[in-house]
């Protein structure tokens, strides 16, 4: 009995997500510290911007302090203000709706497709009003949204279109890269995301004017201090626009640069794990594995199964935790959150996913034996629940 107990407690806990770093990131930090430029918009930031522009196949990138700041920065630069409405995919992290509120504008939440958890474009089209200024759609949990249709609608109706690509570094739709859709996109470099430096974000866009203005506004409305110090003239910044301090430190940019260089290898690992989950969980009672339409490549930032109606998802999370395995919800149904209380809307599909999605451990360093432990534990916990 005692030895069995020991065997149980000696099993290490399996986290939901874990950043994958090695000496390369440590060395990159050391090099920046020694370089003398550790603030934002320095050489590392510029390199990171190029790396993300290449990834998204856009002409510009703008490094920012996080994805939420990037979304706010874009909306502010596009002139979104009180009285405006922005259509927002309902199944997302709160940041997507909060960024609209920071501008004093109103997020209008649109329900999502049940299979991809991305915005339902037919519904969205019906919800355009005279006050609608634009759209923020989301690559939900790393699954690309229906960008071709969204781009057509935005263009025909004169709306801006922003891609919340927080979870989508490396994702593709019909051969086009995530981060390259709409007027501009924002990636997150938070610890839970596919490439990370702890906290950070990058905007990508093909609109050079928007990029230049957003980059200035991320630095109080002035040009980069690193560039100014090297200029041949001395000019004082004029502070003519409402600027913010949304820069990403060059220390963090250097870490993110190393991570981007590993993206392909991270993606292959996540894809292999997703395939194994799909094969081993497909027949499990009470569970539906994610569906991937043939035209898109998700990033598997989150691997979420859908539990049958009537199964108490939160008690499954607790049951898994008792076996030292961290699970979680998929993400949030924004219209259900008190902070968005004043905005009435009906999004039954998003609400159901909010209640029934179960995210399983998913990160590049998850081993195959750990993954089998997850599957075995889930089978046990599900048997008890159904
Ligand atoms: C994580 C996330 C954000 C916020 O990213 P931060 O970099 O933490 O600000 C925004 N939108 C979505 C969809 C996310 O998953």
Q: What is the pLDDT of residue 4?
A: 53
Answer whether residue 261 shows pLDDT above 60: yes
Centre of ligand 1 to C-alpha 232, Å, is 39
Centre of ligand 1 to C-alpha 141, Å, is 10
Tell me: the pLDDT tens digits for 344-385? 778 999 999 999 999 999 999 999 999 999 999 999 999 998
Take atom 8 of ligand 1 and give the residue whose Cα is closest.
190
Closest ligand 1 atom number to CA of residue 188: 7
- Answer for the pair 350, 333: CB distance below 8 angstroms, yes or no: yes
Pocket test for ligand 1, best of 52, 62, 75, 95 (most atoms within 8 A of CB): 95
pTM of the model: 0.96
Cβ burial of 15 (10 Å; 0-12, 13-18, 19+) is middle
CA nearest neighbour of 116 among 259, 244, 358, 297? 297
Mean pLDDT of 312-327: 97
- Low-confidence winner among 152-161, 249-258, 309-318, 339-348 (lowest mean pLDDT): 339-348
Pocket test for ligand 1, best of 96, 168, 203 (most atoms within 8 A of CB): 96
Q: Under DSSP, is residue 209 helix (H, G, I), strand (E, B) or coil?
A: helix
pLDDT band at residue 343 under the 50/70/90 scheme: confident
Pocket test for ligand 1, best of 90, 101, 141, 190 (most atoms within 8 A of CB): 190
Closest ligand 1 atom number to CA of residue 189: 7
Take atom 1 of ligand 1 and give the residue whose Cα is closest.
166
Ranges of beta strands (E only) in 220-350 are 287-288, 296-297, 303-307, 332-333
Give Cα 157 to chain centroid, integer Å. 27
CA separation for the pair 231, 326 (Å, rounded): 52
Tell me: the pLDDT tens digits for 11-63? 679 999 999 999 999 999 999 999 999 999 999 999 999 999 999 999 999 99
């Amino acid at each position: 009995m005692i030895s069995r107990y020991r065997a149980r407690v000696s099993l290490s806990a399996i986290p939901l997500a874990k950043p994958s770093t090695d000496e390369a990131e440590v060395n990159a930090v050391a090099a920046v510290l020694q370089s003398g430029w550790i603030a934002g918009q320095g050489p590392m930031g510029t390199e990171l911007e190029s790396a993300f522009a290449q990834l998204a196949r856009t002409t510009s990138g703008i490094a920012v302090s996080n994805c939420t700041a990037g979304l706010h920065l874009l909306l502010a630069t596009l002139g979104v203000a009180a009285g405006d409405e922005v259509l927002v995919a309902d199944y997302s992290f709160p940041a997507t709706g909060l960024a609209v509120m920071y501008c004093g504008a109103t997020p209008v939440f649109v329900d999502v497709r049940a299979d991809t958890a991305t915005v339902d474009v037919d519904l969205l089209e019906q919800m355009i009003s005279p006050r609608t200024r634009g759209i923020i759609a989301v690559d939900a949990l790393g699954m690309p949204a229906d960008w071709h249709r969204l781009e057509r609608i935005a263009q025909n109706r004169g709306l801006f279109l922003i891609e919340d690509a927080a979870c989508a570094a490396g994702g593709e739709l019909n051969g086009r890269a995530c981060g390259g859709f709409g007027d501009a996109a924002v990636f997150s470099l938070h610890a839970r995301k596919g490439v990370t430096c702890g906290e950070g974000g990058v905007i990508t866009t093909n609109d050079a004017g928007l990029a230049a203005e957003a980059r200035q506004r991320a630095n109080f409305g002035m040009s980069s201090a690193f560039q100014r110090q090297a200029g041949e003239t001395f000019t004082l910044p004029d502070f003519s626009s409402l600027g913010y301090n949304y820069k990403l430190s060059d220390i963090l940019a250097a870490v993110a640069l190393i991570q981007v260089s590993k993206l392909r290898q991270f993606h292959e690992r996540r894809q292999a794990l997703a395939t194994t989950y799909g094969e081993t969980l497909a027949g499990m009672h009470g569970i539906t594995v994610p569906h991937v339409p043939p035209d898109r490549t998700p990033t598997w930032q989150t691997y979420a199964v859908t539990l049958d109606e009537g199964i108490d998802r939160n008690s499954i999370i607790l049951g898994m935790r008792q076996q030292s395995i961290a699970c979680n919800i998929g993400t949030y149904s924004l219209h259900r959150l008190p902070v968005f209380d004043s905005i009435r809307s009906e999004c039954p599909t998003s609400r159901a996913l909010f209640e029934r999605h179960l995210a399983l451990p998913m990160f590049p360093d998850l081993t195959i034996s750990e993954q089998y432990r997850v599957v075995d534990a889930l089978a046990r916990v599900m048997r008890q629940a159904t």
